[in-house]
Amino acid sequence: QSVTIVLAHEEPADATTSAAHMSAMVFKDIIETRSNGDMVVDIQAASTMGNQRERMELTQADIIQVNIAAIGGLAQFYPAINAIDLPFAFPDEIVADHVFDGPFGDMLAENIYATTDLRLLAVTAGDFYVFTNSTREVRSPADMDGLRVRTMSVPSHLAMMNALGAAATPVPWDELYSALETGVVDAQHNPIPIVAVGNLQEVQRYATVTNHLYGADWWVTSDLFLNNLTAEQMRIFTNAVEAARTAGRGAKMGLRATQFGTAFLEENGIQVYAPTPEELSQFRDLAAPAVMSVLADEIGDDAVALAEAMLDAVATAEREIYGAD
């Protein structure tokens, strides 16, 4: 029988600027060509199916078959996942990909399934956060003193910025541009493509490439959907997911090299600074313990355990990829 897969994400329906949409297109192409029209993919971009929380619910109900979630959406259903936002946990995206594809990723998928009934398919299109502000060049935590930094209303993000000496300020996304423009807040942190989506480069002057957080696309589906697939359909589906995972990562790197890297910030008149290893460790020594204690106090032991397992997995991955320490 023929199968329609609704794939939902929140980025614009434009594969030239969105890695999520590019990976969705790859998924669609493989499913539709390999199944010879037996399976159809209906991509619903730009949050047309609903916001993060709604899309998770609709995926649980099999109204959406594949959802590309962000950590914020997952965290409302599985709070321990905030552990992934332990600052400076990942040295680069190759190590991060290795961690999410390995035993740690499998354990995470099991935990997510146990609390949400959702199957984690892939973690892809990851990107690091930069810190931008309108006031002064930030080289080390000492320069952050007193800056009003916009974060999402996520306790670990707020704690991190406060630990660095800034005043963490929750501002809704739809008010962020004008808040930065008028000076209600001085600073924000996001991956560069998100900076570009919000045109924030117009209202910021300095960027610090701290790479402190790793934001990725989390592909999830439900058993309700998977259990209805025939063996042959399952094979095609798995193939398409694997291809989309590879494509998402490639697309993100390609976008960074061509459109949304630090060059994009510089072209828009932003002064970009890449901290030295010493400066980065100053950031890490303040931020990581603060977030660890938020995980322990506000979320629980499972989050702490997850964070520790993640750090172990990162150390293992670094050894495997780059050799002995």
Partner 1 sequence: MLWLMVGLFAILVALGTPLAFAIGITGLFALVQSDGPSLIRLVPMRLFSGIDMFSLMAMPFFILAGDIMNRIKITDRLVDLANAVVGGVRGALAHVNVLVSVFFAGLTGAAVADTAAIGRMMIPAMASQGYNRAFAAAVTASSSVIGPIIPPSIIMVIYGSLMQVSIAGLFAAGLIPGILMALSLMGYIAFRARRDDLPVANLRGDVPPLSVALRRAIIPLMMPVIILGGILGGVFTPTEAAAVAVLYALLVGLFLYRNLGLRDLVTMLYDMVRASGSVFIILAAASILGWVLARQGVPQQLADFLLGISDDPLIFLFIVTLALLIIGMFMEMTAILIILGPILHPIAVSLGIDPLHFGIVMVVNLNIALATPPLGACLFVASSVGKVRFEDVAWRILPFILVEIAVLAAIVYVPAISLTLPRLLGLG
Partner 2 sequence: MKFIARLLHRIARLVETITAAPLIAAGAVMVGVVLAATFSRYVLNDPIAWSEELARYLMIWIGLVGASVTLRHGEHIRITAISMLLPKPVRVVTDLLVAVAIGWFLWVMTLEGWAAAERGSRQMSPALGVSMMWPLLAVPVAGALMLVQHVIQTLLMLLGAQNQPEHESPMGGGPV
- How deeply is 105 buried, as exposed, middle or buried, from its count of CB atoms within 10 A (0-12, 13-18, 19+)? middle
Q: Is 62 left (phi over 0), alpha (psi -120 to 50) or beta?
A: left
CB closer to partner 2 out of 41 and 149: 149
Q: Which does 101 bind (CB under 5 to 8 A by kind): partner 1, partner 2, none?
A: none
Where on the chain is the footprint of partner 1 (CB under 8 A)?
4, 44, 48-51, 53-54, 57-58, 61-63, 171-172, 174-175, 177-179, 181-184
If one asks whether residue 224 binds partner 2 (CB under 8 A), the answer comes out as no
Taking the complex as a whole, how short is the minimal distance between the CB of residue 184 and partner 1, in angstroms?
5
Residue from 232, 298, 301, 312 binding partner 2 (CB under 8 A): 298
| DSSP-based three-state secondary structure for 29 | helix
Query: Which has the closest alpha carbon to 148: 188, 120, 90?
Result: 188
- The binding track of 102-141 with respect to partner 2, each residue x by CB under 8 A or -, is -------------x--------------------------
CB closer to partner 2 out of 23 and 169: 169
Taking the complex as a whole, how short is the minimal distance between the CB of residue 8 and partner 1, in angstroms?
11
If one asks whether residue 170 binds partner 2 (CB under 8 A), the answer comes out as yes
Main-chain dihedrals φ then ψ at residue 185, nearest 5 degrees: -125, 160
Q: In the 8-state DSSP scheme, what is residue 284?
A: H
If one asks whether residue 218 binds partner 2 (CB under 8 A), the answer comes out as no
Q: Which does 250 bind (CB under 5 to 8 A by kind): partner 1, partner 2, none?
A: none
- Among the residues of 147-274, which ranges form H helices? 155-163, 173-182, 192-197, 223-226, 231-258, 262-267
Site for partner 2 in 40-79 (CB under 8 A): 53, 57, 72, 75-77, 79
| DSSP-based three-state secondary structure for 216 | strand
Read off the tokens for 23.
């990976």
Pair 95, 158: CB distance under 8 Å: no
Beta strands in 112-213 (DSSP E): 118-128, 130-133, 148-151, 167-170, 187-190, 206-208
Q: Which residues bind partner 2 (CB under 8 A)?
A: 53, 57, 72, 75-77, 79, 115, 146, 148, 152-155, 158, 167-172, 184, 298
